[in-house]
Amino acid sequence: MKRHKIVLDTNVFLVSLPSQHQYHWIFQSIIQDKFDLCISTDILLEYQEVVSQRYGLDKTDITLDFLLLLPNVKLTTPFFRYPLIESDPSDNKFVECAIMAGADFIVSNDRHFQVLKKIEFPPVKVLKYEEFEERFKQEFTG
């Protein structure tokens, strides 16, 4: 079975944290080493900002420090900028990470990412959460 490399947009990561949330299986799958999570410093900083607003700084720092200790969390340093998402340029950090890490796909429900389906090069596959769940939940939790 192929080991998948993924990039999670911030909103998907955020809602995967609470144990009572339907997306929590994603965070559990990261902890259980079911796939590789590719992140960059820019993504990590955005995770920190958004998660701390929701859950507080102490919980955020503990969660992100723990995340970085996992062997399947791959910190990537993009060396090139890809301005592919013009409607929200801040989303390009996820694209750049996915390209540099050789990720299989980005998981995002953000409509700005849909433009990537029309761009042939560099190829970046995006799955909405529902598509990701349909394809992989049984594989990761089974």
pLDDT value of position 14: 92
Taking only the tens place, the pLDDT of each residue in 58-95 is: 776 777 888 888 999 999 998 888 887 777 889 999 99
Alpha-carbon dihedral 13, 112, 116, 129, rounded to 10 degrees: 40
100 Cβ neighbours under 8 A, 6+ residues apart:
40, 76, 77, 78, 79, 80
Tell me the mean pLDDT in the region 111-116. Answer: 83
At 140, is the pLDDT very low, low, confident or very high (cuts 50, 70, 90)? low
Does domain 5-137 sit in CATH 3.40.50.1010?
A: yes
For residues 141 and 65, give the distance between their C-alpha atoms in angstroms, rounded to a whole number. 24
Instruction: State how beta strands 105-107 and 126-127 pair.
Output: parallel
pLDDT value of position 116: 82
Taking only the tens place, the pLDDT of each residue in 8-58 is: 999 999 999 988 989 999 999 999 999 999 999 999 999 999 988 888 767
At 97, is the pLDDT very low, low, confident or very high (cuts 50, 70, 90)? very high
Closest CA to 110 of 6, 11, 7: 11
**DSSP assignment of the chain:** -PPPEEEE-HHHHHHHSSTTSTTHHHHHHHHTTSSEEEE-HHHHHHHHHHHHHHH-HHHHHHHHHHHHHSTTEEE----S------S-GGGHHHHHHHHHHT-SEEE---GGGGGGGG--SS---EE-HHHHHHHHHHHHH-
pLDDT value of position 135: 84
